[in-house]
Amino acid sequence: MKHVTIMGIPFIHTNQKQFVSLLVERIAQRKKTFVITANPEIVMKANEEPEFMDYVQQADYVTADGIGIVKAAQILNNPLPERVTGFDTMMQLLSIANERRYRIFLLGAQTETLEQTIKTINEQFPDVEIVGSNHGFFDWDNNDITNQIQQLQPDITFVALGVPRQEKWISENISTFGHGIFIGIGGSFDVLAG
């Protein structure tokens, strides 16, 4: 897989459609996958905080989330095809999940937002199976959520805890899961909830 490295972060050289196809392939192969869709804020944070850079380096794929990253790649004479955002990746995965009846888990946001997000997904993607969910203001020392995900084995876990909590949570817990896509999607539940 070709990469473009910007400030120490290896961005996958792909477009939105190809990237979603890659994730679908990984689901079929039951390959555990950690995805970060990195905007300039993430790049800066990783360069300022070594602990955060460690989380970023653990990801299987880092995509260019935003025109700022695409522009930076262009300036470095190593262009990336286009931006690959967390929100678009989530929506395209939900659309395929609806066709293939994927099992998904939603983690993050306020309870009300999460409930509205579930409602929206049920309306727009009725064949997606939401196997579990949890709001994003939980006690980090409690293993209930990890235990649930271990048992449910969702195909995709959308993690909407904001930066850097979502990357930290995935990094710290992914080794306990068997398979599935784990992707940080920031404020996307707020958008879906409307």
Binding-site ranges for ligand UDP (CB under 6 A): 108-110, 113, 136-137, 160-163, 165, 186-187, 189-190
Contact 55, 167 (CB under 8 A): yes
CA distance linking residue 105 with residue 89, whole number of Å: 15
Exposed e or buried b per residue across 32-47, where buried means at least 16 C-beta atoms within 10 angstroms of its C-beta: ebbbbbbbbebbebbe
Q: Min. distance of Cβ 22 from ligand UDP in angstroms? A: 24
Closer Cβ to ligand UDP, 104 or 109, answer by number: 109
Q: Min. distance of Cβ 188 from ligand UDP in angstroms? A: 8
Q: Min. distance of Cβ 69 from ligand UDP in angstroms? A: 16
Closer Cβ to ligand UDP, 20 or 185, answer by number: 185
Count of alpha carbons within 13 angstroms of residue 147, beta-carbon side: 5
Closer Cβ to ligand UDP, 20 or 192, answer by number: 192
Task: Give residue number: closest CB to ligand UDP.
Answer: 136
Q: Min. distance of Cβ 193 from ligand UDP in angstroms? A: 9
Q: Min. distance of Cβ 18 from ligand UDP in angstroms? A: 25
Place of tokens 């876990």: 157
Contact 185, 42 (CB under 8 A): no
Structure tokens at 96: 């395929």
Contact 76, 107 (CB under 8 A): no
Closer Cβ to ligand UDP, 6 or 114, answer by number: 114
Closer Cβ to ligand UDP, 66 or 136, answer by number: 136
